[in-house]
Amino acid sequence: MNITPSLYSFWGKANSNHTPNIPTSVHPALCHMLDVGLVSQALLEQTSATLNELLLRHLHGSVTEKIKWLAFIVALHDLGKISPGFQAKRRDLIQSLPDEFAFSVHGDEPDHGRVTFNTLPELLESMNLCSRPVGKLLARTIAAHHGQFHAVQNRQKRKNSGQGAWNTTRTEIVKALLTVFELPLQPIPWNTDLTTDFLITLAGLTTVADWIGSDASQFDYVGDTLPLDLSHYAKTRLKIARCLVKQLHLKQPTVISTVAGDFKQLFALEKPNECQQVSLAIAQQLAGAASLIIIETPMGSGKTEAALNVSDWWLRAMGAEGIYYALPTQATANQLFKRVEQFISRNPAIEAGAELHLLHAYAELQDHYQQLQLMAIDNDESATVKASHWFISKKRGLLSPFAVGTVDQALLGALQVRHLFVRLYGLAGKVVIIDEVHAYDTYTSKLLDRLLTWLAYLNTSVILLSATLPEKRRRELLQAYVPQLALAAQPQYPGELASIGTDNNSFKR
């Protein structure tokens, strides 16, 4: 593959230059962008059909072609590193730049994400890849990979992103990425307007791919081994990416069998009670679409087992990616953690070694959770459940296939906080169980309503558990998930109430 050698001169990643007698190891921006794009390709190849539908439906072509277009878009996330300010952050590397760039480097670094946001729309339009409005949406989405969406700035307030030769180099890098992904220099084949759920999911995908692709222990820096055979490099890095994604079980279906688990085996109970039987019957009626079920029965009536039994059905029948079980307090989350572990360990449909994490501020102090982490470190092949270190970061926990934690971990996806889209991406395609719904105050309840709206957009099924709910609150919850849902008379208590998000149907028991 013929790549202009000067394209490798612009650094993207570099080790510290403060270690004496050790030469600085550098990774070109082009190589890092390609690494991240290939990780996103691996994620999309292995992602469940439920989540992929959110992304792939916006493009024409075969599944392979759609995945390559999205991987190419994700790879553009760090195009802003081809700018005077970013390159000036490592003065010791300036000498590797061609002369026309070295003389224009300055220390005015405006945040390379913002450079991507400012320059990418015009570049994509000039190359006839998409219109300026679509380019703006894509640029805002992928440039947010450091945690927040950039706001539009007045042109007078913009810092210098680099013009002339800098623009030319950015264009050449885009062409190089198209070549590597075997894509034509023609308009991206969109078949519909870009929707909010697509953009939020794409932002989450980009960020997670960047986290993985930035791990130098897996994606080592090429240093002085230049120029590269970029085609061979891409094939090698794609193998690494596929292996890592599979190893972490990221955004994949969590079952290895569609055979139903025996209730007695799953829960060590003789047989399901009426609440548990009816809940499963309703779930089976709703198969095929993301749904919301409210189980409203007194304490001690088996709501936890009912919810997990329904989740088991959705994991197998709909290819859901896992479960997040949210509770109001750390104490209740700690108590339920072992019960969920037992459910996973006893479930013959779930592959041994499944990831399970405890998510709240003091989770690290829980002895049993620490034991699961040690099993992962020791690579204990006998472990039916483990907790790999990669998910321990507070921003990564919801990416784990299975997790138990406090409800705030999910509610942060409905707030304007950093990396909110990663939390939503982590929940997308899962089954989300929210317990003790009646216990939340007005503020938390409003956040829950907003979260339910997002989860409906993201094809995420939800189970709400409560001892009792006022009729008004019950309606608010259902209509937060499906705003246009018309509800009939108040159902009898105790009972279950469910709605299908896509078909706008309701069933009551």
Asked if 68 and 41 touch (Cβ cutoff 8 Å), the reply is yes
Residue 21 lies in a domain: no
| pLDDT over 50 at 205, yes or no | yes
pLDDT of residue 504: 42
Six token digits for residue 198: 């697509």
Per-residue confidence (pLDDT) for residue 507, from 0 to 100:
37
**503 or 17, which is more confident:** 17
**Where is pLDDT greater, at 343 or 317?**
343
More confident residue, 194 or 161: 194
In a domain, residue 502? The reply is yes
| Cα separation values, 319 from 19, 60, 158, 246, 349, Å | 49, 24, 46, 16, 12
Task: Return the pLDDT at 258.
Answer: 75
125's tokens = 């339009």
pLDDT tier for residue 503 given thresholds of 50, 70 and 90: very low
| Structural tokens at position 498 | 């469910």
Same domain? 304 vs 168: no
Domain boundary among 248, 279, 309: 248
pLDDT, tens digit (0-9, with 9 covering 90-100), for 468-489: 899 899 999 999 999 877 666 5
Q: What value does the mean pLDDT take over residues 204-230?
A: 92
Written as six digits, the tokens of 150 are 């950039």
| Burial of residue 366 (number of CB atoms within 10 Å: 0-12, 13-18, 19+) | middle
CA distance 253 to 75: 25
Q: Is residue 66 part of a domain?
A: yes
Lowest mean pLDDT among 95-99, 129-133, 332-336: 95-99
Q: What is the largest CA-CA distance in the chain?
A: 78
Tokens of 96: 């590797």
Q: Which runs of E-coded beta strand occur in 15-128?
A: 26-28
151 shares its domain with 125: yes
**295 and 348 housed in the same domain:** yes
Query: Is residue 89 over pLDDT 50?
Result: yes
Least confident segment among 244-248, 346-350, 371-375, 381-385 = 381-385
Q: What is the pLDDT of residue 381?
A: 77
- What pLDDT is recorded for position 506? 42
Rounded (5°) CA angle 96-99-102? 65
Show which of 248, 276, 303 is a domain's final residue.
Answer: 248
pLDDT digits (tens, 9 = 90+) for 164-197: 999 999 999 999 999 999 999 999 999 999 999 9
Residue located via tokens 């640029």: 139
Residue 97 lies in a domain: no
Per DSSP, what are the bridge partners of residue 325? 404, 433
Band (49; pLDDT cuts 50, 70, 90): confident
491 and 380 share one domain: yes
What secondary structure letter does DSSP report for 466? E
SS3 420: helix
Look-up of token digits 């309606």:
475
Q: pLDDT tens digits for 358-378?
A: 999 999 999 999 999 998 998
Residues 232 and 274 in one domain: no
- pLDDT, average across residues 373-394: 88
d(CA 413, CA 450): 9
Residues making up the chain, counted from first to last = 509
Q: Under a CB-based contact definition with an 8 Å cutoff, are residues 323 and 402 in contact? A: yes
Q: 509 pLDDT band (50/70/90 cuts)?
A: very low
Alpha helices in 160-273 (DSSP H): 165-180, 196-213, 230-248, 263-267
Total domains present in the chain: 2
Check pLDDT > 50 for residue 248: yes
Q: Is residue 431 one of the residues assigned to a domain?
A: yes
What average pLDDT does range 126-132 have in this prediction? 97
Q: Which residue shows structure tokens 């089976």?
A: 284
Could you tell me the pTM of the whole model?
0.93
Lookup: tokens for 350:
């779930």
Question: In this structure, are 130 and 185 located in the same domain?
Answer: yes
Same domain, 136 and 228: yes
Rounded to whole angstroms, the Cα distance separating 466 from 366 reads 27
CA nearest neighbour of 213 among 185, 186, 234: 234
What proportion of the chain, given as a percentage, has pLDDT over 70? 91
Same domain, 235 and 325: no
Average pLDDT, rounded, for the chain? 90
- The bridge status of strand 323-327 relative to strand 354-359 is unpaired
The torsion angles phi and psi of 358, rounded to 5 degrees, stand at -105, 125
What is the model's pLDDT at position 495? 65
pLDDT tens digits, 290-318: 899 999 998 889 999 999 999 999 998 88
What is the reported pLDDT for 101? 87
What digits encode the pLDDT tens for the residues 140-154? 999 999 999 998 876
Measured CA to CA in angstroms, residue 18 lies from 95, 219, 222 at distances of 18, 22, 19
Give the model's confidence band at 254: pLDDT under 50 very low, under 70 low, under 90 confident, else very high: confident
Residue 123 pLDDT greater than 90, yes or no: yes
Q: Is pLDDT above 50 for 342?
A: yes
The answer, yes or no, to whether the previous bond of 494 is cis (omega within 30 of 0) is yes
Q: In which residue are the tokens 């210098």 written?
A: 160
Q: 201-205, 419-423, 471-475 — which is least confidently predicted?
A: 471-475
Domain that holds residue 369: 263-508
pLDDT at 94: 86
Out of 202, 220, 248, pick the residue that ends a domain.
248
**256-276: average pLDDT:** 86
Same domain, 322 and 401: yes
CA geometry: angle at 352 spanning 350 and 358, to 5°?
85
Give me the phi and psi of 391, to 5 degrees please.
-90, -5
- Indicate if 321 and 244 belong to the same structural domain: no
Calculate the alpha carbon distances from 186 to 61, 125, 126, 190 in Å: 14, 11, 11, 12
Write the CATH number for 229.
Answer: 1.10.3210.30
- Provide the pLDDT for residue 162: 87
Token pair of 87 as six digits: 């390159």
Whether 91 is covered by a domain: the verdict is: no
Pull the structure tokens for residue 224: 């002085």
pLDDT of 241 > 70? The answer is yes
| Percent residues over pLDDT 90 in the chain | 68
> Quick one: average pLDDT of 205-225?
93
pLDDT at 132 over 90: yes
Residue 126 within any structural domain of the chain: yes
Tens of pLDDT, residue by residue over 7-47, are: 999 999 998 765 555 566 899 999 999 999 999 999 999 98
**Whether residue 434 sits in one domain with residue 457:** yes
Looking up residue 395, the CATH number of its domain turns out to be 3.40.50.300
Q: What is the C-alpha separation between 247 and 239, in angstroms, rounded?
A: 12
Look at residue 110 in the predicted model and tell me its pLDDT. Answer: 67
Give the pLDDT score at 2: 73
